[in-house]
């Protein structure tokens, strides 16, 4: 199968994988569009790691059809591997080497690698290029991992739990880096346990549970989120009150009239977060 010039970077139909009779991936249909960030969400043991490893070509499937950048990873060769980048959750041990030495070493694995200086600058490590990697902070080490992942100018980049253990500031810096890769035309498949990360980065998300792909949608529309009612809360002499409504503006107007146009005590308006919707979907799957 030759290079796919269509809109799909990944196309899977009926993907299946079992271990000693236990089904890990159960008839998964998945399409990831070129140039998008796609987040794969799911609890531990849901099958997302196995699914991702099959897409990366590190694990054979038991059944189904699969095309990644126009080729079947199970049979793809070195040319195909030159077109993908992988950033694993655990990085290698290069503590005694400098950032520049590590990047130059891995650049040798690619036929036409990106310029080493350009890669180091792209991941924000120019000031640390002479530093041993063992002295880098967690966020800086993760940036190096991404640098190694993009050395070959991949068309498709796999990111496995990229910001685990990051503090909030470093996580947001990393988000900017990943968003910049997408803007440059790289397709990104991201696995993460951070729902705010998925909402911030992903064009679309897929939820996998018990080996099945439950739903694929935009973060704003996942699980019918766009139709979920808002919860309006306030307090008065009788205590604290909440009401769920599809018309929060109308409710606030009615409350304002009730309070004679004065400030409504402890007024809050909240809508379901992506995490709320995700947990509801996962709980529903486990109850079914």
Q: What is the DSSP letter of 71?
A: B
Q: What digits encode the pLDDT tens for the residues 138-196?
A: 888 888 988 999 999 899 999 988 887 777 887 888 888 889 889 989 999 999 988 99
Q: What digits encode the pLDDT tens for the residues 37-49?
A: 999 999 988 999 9
Residue 5 confidence (pLDDT): 42
Who has greater pLDDT, 92 or 55? 55
For residue 161, give the 3-state DSSP assignment: coil
The dihedral region occupied by 161, where left means phi > 0, alpha psi between -120 and 50, and beta the remainder, is left
Give the DSSP per-residue string, 197-250: HHHHH-SEEEEEETTEEEEEE-TTTGGGGGGPPEEEEEEETTEEEEEEES-HHH
What CA–CA distance (Å, rounded) separates 159 from 190?
5
Q: Do the beta carbons of residue 154 and residue 119 sit within 8 Å?
A: no
Residue 90 confidence (pLDDT): 66
State what percent of residues in the chain have pLDDT above 90: 65
For the segment 62-87, the average pLDDT, to the nearest whole number, is: 94
- Report H helices in the chain: 48-56, 78-81, 99-107, 116-122, 138-149, 168-183, 195-201, 248-258, 274-287
Residue 31 confidence (pLDDT): 96
Q: Do the beta carbons of residue 84 and residue 154 sit within 8 Å?
A: yes
Could you tell me which residues are beta bridge partners of residue 53?
Answer: none
- pTM of the model as a whole: 0.83
Residue 228 confidence (pLDDT): 85
Please report which helix (H) or strand (E) contains residue 150, including its range: none
- Under the banding of pLDDT at 50, 70 and 90, the label for residue 229 is confident
Question: Is the pLDDT confidence value at 2 over 50?
Answer: no
Q: What is the DSSP letter of 5?
A: -
Least confident of 25-39, 97-111, 138-152: 138-152
């Amino acid at each position: 199968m030759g290079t796919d010039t269509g809109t799909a970077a990944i196309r899977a139909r009926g993907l299946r994988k079992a271990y000693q009779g236990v089904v890990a991936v159960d008839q998964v249909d998945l399409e990831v569009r070129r140039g998008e960030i796609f987040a794969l969400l799911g609890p531990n043991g849901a099958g997302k790691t196995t699914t991702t490893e099959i897409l990366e070509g590190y694990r054979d499937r038991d059944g189904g059809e699969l095309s990644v950048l126009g080729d079947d990873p199970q049979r793809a060769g070195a040319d195909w591997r030159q077109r993908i980048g992988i950033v694993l959750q655990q990085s290698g041990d290069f503590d005694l080497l400098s950032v520049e030495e590590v990047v130059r070493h891995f650049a040798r694995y690619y036929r036409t690698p990106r310029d080493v200086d350009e890669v180091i600058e792209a991941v924000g490590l120019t000031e640390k290029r002479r530093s041993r990697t063992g002295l880098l902070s967690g966020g800086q080490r993760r940036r190096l991992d991404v640098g190694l992942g993009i050395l070959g100018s991949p068309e498709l980049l796999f990111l496995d739990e990229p910001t685990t253990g990051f503090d909030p500031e470093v996580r947001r810096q990393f988000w900017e880096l990943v968003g910049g890769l997408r803007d440059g035309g790289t397709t990104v498949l991201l696995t993460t346990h951070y729902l705010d990360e998925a909402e911030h980065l992903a064009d679309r998300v897929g939820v996998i549970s018990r080996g099945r792909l439950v739903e694929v949608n935009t973060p704003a529309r996942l699980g019918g989120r766009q139709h979920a009612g808002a919860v309006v809360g306030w307090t008065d002499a009788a205590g604290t009150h909440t009401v769920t409504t599809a018309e929060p503006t109308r409710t606030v107007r009615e409350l304002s009239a009730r309070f004679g146009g004065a400030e409504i005590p402890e007024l809050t308006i909240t809508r379901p977060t992506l995490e709320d919707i995700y947990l509801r979907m996962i709980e529903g799957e486990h109850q079914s």
